[in-house]
Amino acid sequence: MKLSRTTTHTQTTTASLAGDDLKRVIAQAVAQAAGIDLDAAGVEQKVWLTTRPVTGTAGSEHVAEVTITQLAQPKGHIDFSGSVRAPIKRGDTIRWHENGVEHSGPVAHHTENPGERGELRCKGLTLAQIHDRADRDSVTIVG
């Protein structure tokens, strides 16, 4: 990115972005708005830049299309946005905050019916439910 600054009675900063720099900045803005860490494992991004004519004028508009793909985590292996250092497993004790209140408890394997695959839960909640309710990055493995 080329950045230039001029000062008279005001300070003016101008940036010139092209190619990969432009795509990177656009992808970062979209990822931030969506709450996605582009540097996380299993995250891929694609950015397409196009120009199309504007109907009824002699001009054109620029369009950026951004696709960010995250690999799905297997059931019971939620990483809680990077705050947990390893996948959560049965027997772990986890702690999380929800609306400023701390919760903690042991992780257990839960099945509704015999022969069912089941899932990991803590205090009756699935790991996905805890992830959805937890304040951002508050979930940790205690022991």
CB atoms within 10 A of CB 6: 9
Compute the average pLDDT of residues 1-19.
81
- pLDDT for 18 equals 82
* Nearest residue to 14 via CA among 23, 3, 25, 22: 3
- pLDDT for 71 equals 67
- Separation of alpha carbons 49 and 32, rounded Å: 19
Whether the per-residue pLDDT at 40 is higher than 70: the answer is: yes
In a shared domain, residues 56 and 104: no
Q: Which of 42, 70, 98 is the last residue of a domain?
A: 70
Whether the per-residue pLDDT at 15 is higher than 60: the answer is: yes
| Residue with more model confidence, 136 or 51 | 51
In a shared domain, residues 66 and 88: no
Range of the domain at 104: 80-141
Q: What is the pLDDT of residues 43-101, one digit of tens each?
A: 888 888 888 888 887 788 888 888 888 765 545 455 554 444 467 788 888 888 888 88
In a shared domain, residues 36 and 66: yes
Q: How many domains does the chain fold into?
A: 2
In a shared domain, residues 62 and 31: yes
Q: What is the pLDDT of residues 103-129, one digit of tens each?
A: 898 888 888 777 777 788 888 888 888
Structure tokens at 118: 């089941």
Q: Which of 70, 91, 113 is the last residue of a domain?
A: 70
